[in-house]
Structure 1
């Protein structure tokens, strides 16, 4: 089954040269917003194209969940200088579940907006990231976002019933080509739908990775996309019962202080952020376990987003004993931290998908005792970055190699032709602008297809122990090799289209640095 439509390469003939500080400091969505504003001001062709539908055998459902903690958790005693309130206190946890849904379901609510309302919250957050936040610029940014992307919706149907195994199998025509797909669906369904908890990057939110999550959901997986309130999200509306909605915008080191009024160091601030993320991950696991244990009705009643009416029927249908943690950029660093000392009851992760682990988000945890898949985008591997006194690439490679030596099958590979935002929604919405600004050379559909394809192979390995596709390759590239880059390298194993199917040439998109083979 082809995950994405066939499209011709749209490699740009020229690239927009943004200042290096802008390209390194801010993320794809913020860059896209700045370019959008420029297009609006100078009457250039505007931004959006709709997000494509998902391609797996299941339809995709989505539910927003915001539930309170039994009691607030103060993760760090740092406080805001202006209000003296705790900066790192978890009162509620917010995430969106993407899951395989039944066929021909009638959704009870409108589809989710790509930028949640009110748009002004996200707009002000972007303006703050860009250091242009003031009354006028906030209004301008809000107006532009509303006009250009306010209508974009996420394709998943909201609050529809969770799929069962029978409906998925019967929906796939029993042809020779589809037998493997049917076998895969049956295998995935054993023991409940596998669950992935995903952590977003800096200047991002839970709606930045909806297509990656939706593609996995259309293949039988349940993906919880977290929204972090640790200062990394542009802006988030916190909803609590009996209290007015509270907006928490992005914040940084200069805005906080210790409980005794002293300045925080950058490292102290990042440590607090990562600890905060870990707590939110644990609370997400707690809620998912409640649903699976038969308390879906109670979770629905406590959900301030008024979604999840079918949770009452989810009892025993999720595999919450062996979850997977995943993340991108800062979220990848957070996902690695969530593996410390695990697996545990609070963090029952049997594996991890790590996408572009952060270069400026603090030390990377090497206390890992489960299989991991680490994927670098081309831009992440090709650019040398000094990381705590040594090359970032070497640090990541050593962590994965040491995990293999501990007996945990693990992989580290570079996705050729991609850039840091290639796994996000932004390139799908505006391929040309994102290619110009980030330097990606691969077609956007092709790039995201590769991320989904390899992630699915890793998830399959965790379920069955079978290594397939990229996971069967030997580590032929101890270092990233610019000379054997995008579209060049193919291992001499003799496979062709007859033996490998439609994607026999996928190897030209990868370099494998570490594997257990």
Structure 2
């Protein structure tokens, strides 16, 4: 009984911090387009491609909005990543976050409106494909197709693939994760912690290379879909992929990511010239080989929080400075590392600050600055005919809530 009482009191404690729950939730897109989303898994094994696609859509009054956290296994993965008890955490996470929806229409039809530029998005360490929906929804509402890859390098808190059934009795599949074939069963892959005595750079460097390869495979898959090639989605879906034919502007492709995903951006730019530019959010530079930096020829935009970085991390970013290739950096005052994922919108003010999900800046202001600066940069370097240049000043940190460059002092000799 003591344990149950503790759990109940803990939930009461968290609920008190979320007393303005009606104000919580992922903000809808501010652009002129309604947003749809769907999941795509091609190849049922661990070597396949898995992504969440966001796109401008035609919505119906009956359109369903998907759950922000797709199923309980993702709660378990978050608990493992945070080194928390699974049973207690699942109940707490489910209570806190289980009712939230993504502001996008599930499996809605693509809106035919010319060719849309394309963005591949890479999540951070311990995250997964749905946790950056505020950014992805906003970009889609502004007329982009955004593919949020779910990485299978054991850096996601949880992900899954399928294997063929062996005839043994298995658990029934989740209703929202059902595969097209009854002969497949889910295989879950959780975050892998660093082993005792293991060299972290070796692990993270191997992972960032795999992550870049997964982003490039996702891009190649979308290029095939754009050409009219039929797609074999492992997941049951009502989405009509044939409508994606000839809808992407393959001359205007960018890569974007947060933290470990920011490092993935740089690795992608090195490996694939189809990416015309990159937006790297609060990038964790540690996994990267410095030797690749001279091979990166595309523009990069670093958008940093004020509280995450240290001198060595900024020094690595500054090594990518170039006299001929645009490289920009801004810092959002009062922002923290978790100002970029959706969690910042899901908790009340003081609980959010205790859990370091919120900074001193209003999370909606921080997200608007991030999104608008990103849109201005994308217009400039994808050569878009839009009105995003109204936010050009943000690229140079010209706002009361921004700094040009970094808030840290970095000696030139260190670079």
TM class by smaller structure: 0.7 to 0.9
- 1:321 Cα deviation (Å)? 4.0
From 265, 278, 303, the equivalent of 1:335 is: 265
2: distance between equivalents of 1:267 and 1:160?
42
Aligned to 1:28: none
Aligned to 2:187: 246
| Secondary structure, aligned partner of 1:458 | helix
Aligned to 2:177: none
- 1:91 Cα deviation (Å)? 2.1
Aligned to 1:510: 402
- 1:470 Cα deviation (Å)? 5.8
Could you tell me which runs of 5 or more consecutive residues in structure 2 were left unpaired when the two chains were aligned.
1-6, 164-180, 407-415
Aligned to 1:413: 330
From 197, 204, 225, the equivalent of 2:148 is: 225
1: distance between equivalents of 2:245 and 2:91?
44
Task: Say if 1:411 and 1:471, in contact at 8 Å, map to a contact too.
Answer: no
Task: Say if 2:151 and 2:211, in contact at 8 Å, map to a contact too.
Answer: yes
2: distance between equivalents of 1:435 and 1:148?
15
* Bigger Cα Rg: 1
Aligned to 1:142: 90
2: distance between equivalents of 1:474 and 1:269?
34
Question: 1:473–1:125: structure 2 CA closer, same or farther, 3 Å change rule?
Answer: closer
> How many aligned residue pairs are there?
372
Question: 1:319–1:475: structure 2 CA closer, same or farther, 3 Å change rule?
Answer: closer
From 2, 7, 11, the equivalent of 1:40 is: 11
Question: 1:143–1:283: structure 2 CA closer, same or farther, 3 Å change rule?
Answer: same
| Secondary structure, aligned partner of 1:376 | strand
- 1:209 Cα deviation (Å)? 0.4
Structure 2 residue 110 is matched with structure 1 residue 162: yes
Task: Say if 2:97 and 2:346, in contact at 8 Å, map to a contact too.
Answer: no
Question: 1:37–1:414: structure 2 CA closer, same or farther, 3 Å change rule?
Answer: farther
Map 1:3-42 to 2 at 5 A: 39-40=10-11, 42=13
Task: Say if 1:431 and 1:444, in contact at 8 Å, map to a contact too.
Answer: no
Structure 2 residue 318 is matched with structure 1 residue 397: yes
- 1:205 Cα deviation (Å)? 0.9
2: distance between equivalents of 1:216 and 1:97?
12
| Secondary structure, aligned partner of 1:204 | coil
1: distance between equivalents of 2:53 and 2:137?
10
Map 1:370-385 to 2 at 5 A: 370-381=298-309, 384-385=310-311
Task: Say if 1:100 and 1:220, in contact at 8 Å, map to a contact too.
Answer: yes
Map 1:253-272 to 2 at 5 A: 253-254=194-195, 265-272=199-206
Task: Say if 1:342 and 1:369, in contact at 8 Å, map to a contact too.
Answer: no
Structure 2 residue 32 is matched with structure 1 residue 61: no
Question: 1:468–1:100: structure 2 CA closer, same or farther, 3 Å change rule?
Answer: same
Task: Say if 2:122 and 2:265, in contact at 8 Å, map to a contact too.
Answer: yes
Map 1:434-453 to 2 at 5 A: 434-438=352-356, 440-453=359-372
1: distance between equivalents of 2:368 and 2:9?
30
Q: TM-score, normalised by structure 1?
A: 0.66
Map 1:423-462 to 2 at 5 A: 423-432=340-349, 433-438=351-356, 440-462=359-381
- 1:222 Cα deviation (Å)? 0.8
Aligned to 1:353: 279
Task: Say if 2:125 and 2:260, in contact at 8 Å, map to a contact too.
Answer: yes
Task: Say if 2:58 and 2:108, in contact at 8 Å, map to a contact too.
Answer: yes
| Secondary structure, aligned partner of 2:405 | strand
Question: 1:397–1:470: structure 2 CA closer, same or farther, 3 Å change rule?
Answer: farther
Structure 2 residue 62 is matched with structure 1 residue 112: no
| 1:414-444 per-position Cα deviation (integer Å, ceiling 9, x unaligned) | 1222111112211111251223443611111
Q: TM-score, normalised by structure 2?
A: 0.82
| Secondary structure, aligned partner of 2:215 | helix
2: distance between equivalents of 1:235 and 1:323?
28
From 226, 236, 243, the equivalent of 1:292 is: 226
From 234, 241, 251, the equivalent of 1:304 is: 234
